[in-house]
Amino acid sequence: MANHDPPHARLARLMKDPFNHIPEGAKAAGDLLSIATLLGSLASLLPAVAAILTIIWTAIRIYETDTVQHLLGRKDKS
């Protein structure tokens, strides 16, 4: 049976769900590729984030020391 829909009707169906004609296996492969890309970008980003958080944590720990608190006049000598 031939499809006798006008061209604009076929285009409207395609625009309504442009991924409808893609097989589920191809969609799953695309999803896996997307996840792999995300994890790869996070893996290269995480060392920089870890370094920044380590610097912040070390600065907080140094700020909390008795010596720094005494130098800032926030703690009396006891």
The structure's pTM equals: 0.50
Residue 76 DSSP class: -
Give the pair of three-digit tokens for residue 51.
Answer: 């370094």
Instruction: Give the pLDDT mean for 7-25.
Output: 73
CB of 19 closer than 8 Å to CB of 27: yes
Note whether 57 and 49 are within 8 A (CB).
Answer: no
Cα–Cα distance for residue pair 14/35, rounded to 1 Å: 26
pLDDT digits (tens, 9 = 90+) for 22-52: 888 988 998 998 998 888 888 888 888 899 9
Q: Tokens in use for 43?
A: 């893996």
Query: CA-to-CA distance for 1 and 51, rounded, in angstroms?
Result: 65
